[in-house]
Amino acid sequence: MATRHRTATRDRSPSPEVARVLLVEDEVTARLTLRAILQASGYSVDLAGSAPEAMDKIEQGQYALVLCGLRSDDDQDECRRVINHARAQDYHPATAYLTASGGESRRPKSGRLLIEPQEVPDLLSKIADLLADRAVGRERRNMRRHRPLELAAN
């Protein structure tokens, strides 16, 4: 009996851009767990285990989001360096701190959002919000750049 093979028809529409995330976390277990959660949610994830490694990756690639883990007071300074370095890039990634313990006493001086990964749906929702805010900011910058050209043409 002959077996018939069907060729699947592929959807030729362009695929949406996958957000590239840099996860900076010194604890291996947390790093691997968070990467699995983010990848399962459709994000492309690069890992860094230290501030120098993260800053090298930020220089080499473009990220939609840079997440930095906080585990001790010393790590806060390292994360602050990473986040400040990311914010200085021309591609303007969204940035956030990750912490395993809640509480305003751990809030960094910069006032940026602390994401607590205890609740995965909340974590993913906060990440989506950060990426949406970044997209809005990019669109506003693009509009400002193109507006003078439109006015000059009139």
Cβ atoms of residues 26 and 75 within 8 Å? yes
Tokens encoding 115? 């994401």
The DSSP symbol for 93 reads -
- Give all strands of the β-sheet with 65-70 in edge-to-edge order: 44-48, 20-24, 65-70, 94-99, 114-115
Lowest mean pLDDT among 11-25, 36-50, 66-80, 100-114: 100-114
φ, ψ of residue 19 to 5 degrees: the values are -70, 130
Query: How far apart are alpha carbons 50 and 55 in whole angstroms?
Result: 9
| Residues with Cβ within 8 Å of residue 17, at least 6 apart in sequence | none
* pLDDT tier at 106, thresholds 50, 70, 90: very low
* pLDDT tier at 154, thresholds 50, 70, 90: low
Query: How far apart are alpha carbons 133 and 135 in whole angstroms?
Result: 5
pLDDT at 45 over 70: yes
Helix (H, G, I), strand (E, B) or coil at 112: coil
Q: Options 3.40.50.2300, 3.40.50.12280, 3.40.50.300, 3.20.20.140; which CATH number does 20-153 get?
A: 3.40.50.2300
pLDDT tens string 53-81? 999 999 999 999 999 986 766 677 899 99
